[in-house]
Amino acid sequence: MSIRSKTISLTIFASLALAIAACDGKQQAGAPQAPPVEVAAITIEPQRIALFTDLPGRTAAFRIAEVRPQVNGIVLKRLFQEGSDVTAGQQLYQIDPATYRAAMASAQADLAKARANLKSIEAKAARYADLVQINAVSRQDYDDIVANQDQAKAQILVAQAGVETTRINVEYTKVYAPISGRIGKSNVTEGALVTANQAAPLATVTQLDPIYVDVSQSSSDLMRLRRAVASGQMQQGAPDQAPVTLTLDGATQPYEVTGQLQFSDVTVDPTTGSVQLRAVFPNPRHDLYPGLFVRARVEQGVREQALLVPQQSLVRTPDGAAVVWVIGADNKVNPRPVEVGQVFGDRWFVNSGLQPGERVVTEGLQKIRPGTEVRVAVPAAAVPVAAKP
């Protein structure tokens, strides 16, 4: 074939290829586009919610009093039943008072003797007062009798103190309950010798109503809470007005009585990096005992402009990050990373990543991809107002 013939053949082939490509382009341009994907969505609206935190802790007695003797002696009687409730001022033990009553009688006799001595000296001083005026006695003798009179008065005061001391010792032979509460086992029985200020208590009285609940909160969480309050993102009431609910170890339902946060410690435990909080709970039926492991839910503030998303709208990436699919103004969806916090029922609290008024896909997530055009199958509705957790 000649060179001219080859040139003509290549020209015809190129023309045919361009014609075929043009026909294919016209067919593709005329093909119908895929319809928008139907999804369900909600409109994010700000609302007021109360934020809380769950903290582990243990119960502690409101007051504990160890009963000890204040005098030496033999225990004659135990006047209570172990494990029963006692009231403040109730007699618990009787120590043998015989020697203390004898000492009190001796002190009373000394007081009577001192008073009789004073009467004799007072009469003599009265006579000397008249005689010194006429120089029947010397001035020195008069001064001596006046001094003896003052000493006799002082002896009466000493005797009165002795009587009071012995009376107190007699009273100390009756051992009373210092506080109201439940008394434990007795460490002594009748016939036991007890001594004043001994190390071992006779018994221990524990006040169970009300009862303390001591919990620990991370110092980082506490500082984050304070920054949120300082920035105005959260409102916080008085510390002694924060309500606290309680769940016992192994229980499914919370304790029926609500407590109050009493105080927050001002120091951080260097070993755990936590701050201790203490709440007070009424315990009228003595359902709570000291030493129980519990979980306390502490209300720590209120967010007036909080954003919530349903749990089914949240997707976790392989690295654990939270993502929601947001519908843009052009009705196309794209993933949006968000930071979530606590769970309120079936919704997540969103710390950051969303703005009020944005639409979030709740159903049909498996049918969409980034940039997919969607159509909301049902009217987008705002998340309902969150109930108090």
CA–CA distances in Å: residue 255 to residues 25, 63, 104, 259: 73, 21, 55, 10
- Neighbouring-strand partners of residue 302: 50, 235
Look at residue 230 and tell me whether its pLDDT is greater than 90: no
φ/ψ of residue 112, rounded to 5: -65, -40
> Do residues 262 and 279 touch, judged by C-beta distance below 8 A?
yes
pLDDT of residue 4: 41
Cα(31)–Cα(28) distance, integer angstroms: 5
| Residue 230, helix vs strand vs coil | helix
150, containing H or E segment:
helix 139-172
**Torsion sign over Cα 90, 93, 95, 96:** positive
Tell me how far apart the alpha carbons of residues 262 and 235 are, in angstroms, rounded to a whole number: 19
Q: What is the pLDDT of residues 368-382, one digit of tens each?
A: 889 888 888 765 544
| pLDDT averaged over every residue in the chain | 82
- In this prediction, residue 229 has a pLDDT band, given cuts at 50, 70 and 90, of low
Q: What is the spatial distance between Cα 39 and Cα 366, in angstroms, rounded to a whole number?
A: 10
**Tokens representing 149?**
């009179």
In whole angstroms, what is the distance from residue 205 CA to residue 85 CA?
Answer: 9
- Determine contact, residues 121/190, Cβ cutoff 8 Å: no
pLDDT of residue 387: 42
Run of H or E residues at 43: strand 37-43
Tokens matching residue 39: 């999804």
Strands 91-95 and 193-194: unpaired
- Sort 12 into a burial class: Cβ within 10 Å, 0-12 / 13-18 / 19+: exposed
75 pLDDT more than 90: yes
- Looking at residue 16, what is its pLDDT? 37
Query: Angle formed by the axes of helices 98-131 and 139-172, to 10°?
Result: 160
The two structure tokens encoding residue 255: 């304790």
Q: Cα dihedral angle (361, 364, 368, 371), rounded to 10 degrees?
A: -30
Mean pLDDT value of segment 50-61? 84
The predicted structure's pLDDT at residue 103: 95
The pLDDT value given to residue 31? 47
Q: Judging by beta carbons within 10 Å of its beta carbon (0-12, 13-18, 19+), is residue 222 exposed, middle or buried?
A: middle
Omega cis (within 30) before 210: yes
Closest Cα to residue 149, out of 133, 129, 163?
Answer: 129
359-363 and 381-382 strand pairing: unpaired
State percent of the chain over pLDDT 70. Answer: 82
What distance in Å separates the CA atoms of residue 379 and residue 43, rounded to the nearest whole number? 10
